[in-house]
Amino acid sequence: MNLLFKIGFLNISWIDVIDIFLVAVLMYQLYKLMKGSVAVRVFLGFLSLYLIYLVVRASGMELLSSILGEFMGVGVLAVIILFQQEIRKFLLIIGRSTAFNRESFLELLGIKNKKEVFSLNVSAVVEAAKTLGGSNTGALIVFSRNSELKFYSESGDMMDAIISKRILLSIFNKYSPLHDGAVIIYNGRVKAARCILPVTEQTLPAQFGLRHRAAIGMSENTDTLVLIISEETGQLSLARGGKIDHNLSPQEIRKRINEYYHTVEPSLDQVITKQVEEDKKKRKKKKQQNH
């Protein structure tokens, strides 16, 4: 072990410096994750108590050290219980940002995963959003590019419908039985409507209601893009990664959706033709199975 410098009875090496740096980065990331929630106060309190325990143990105070040591032993279980939501979010972030997801893992093995190529009718979504916003009709639309969100889809009514302006307007019509909840769009189609989304625990401004809180909560828990149309103001917003961009123009909405999917928006004729062909294939396959 190469000694770097000495502070009193402490011998500091390069490994210790790297260790302290990595712990500092980890603590900072955890703080960022919990910032704005009630859990951050509990986290700072627990961290302060742990630092006191380290100082007491290093000072040789055996009685106080043993008492705090017993508390720290149970503290690991307490942390898991108190911070279960934050730990889940942290693991989700790691899972999304590392190479150990399904697609990257297959690429590392040299297996090319064939991605389904689909066309999303962004124009229909944007036009519907403009109409809904103009009439102050609230709406929640979830875009998913790599997961069918089965858990959230099954909380509502399954549809598997072609995306169109009329479909979206009819779903979010105030007198429609499907308007209360979110629409999930996956694989270029309306997968489900009236879906229940998780609500964020962040402290938000008073202008954001339950619809905005649900959108942020969904973007925290999944790799999705969520479009929010305010019922009070008719303003359009987008939530991604636990953050919300408020009062966006239809042009900006179109741009952000295209950026999320990393695709160039196809023409309306191409979208409708492709989706009609897919429906024909599905009907033909069902007939063959029935016979």
Query: Where exactly are the structural domains of the chain?
Result: 5-99, 122-262
pLDDT of 23 reads 85
Tell which residue, 107, 159, 132, has the closest CA to residue 230.
Answer: 132
Note the pLDDT of residue 124: 92
Looking at the whole model, is its pTM more than 0.75?
Answer: no
> Looking at the predicted structure, is the pLDDT value of residue 71 above 70?
yes
∠ Cα 154 157 161 (to 5°): 110
Residues counted in the chain: 291
Per-residue confidence (pLDDT) for residue 37, from 0 to 100: 58
Would you place residue 21 in the very low, low, confident or very high pLDDT band (cuts 50, 70, 90)? confident
List Cβ neighbours of 34 (8 Å cut-off, separation of 6 or more).
Answer: 40, 43, 83, 86
For 191-218, what is the mean pLDDT? 89
Domain 122-262 grouped into CATH 3.40.50.2000: no
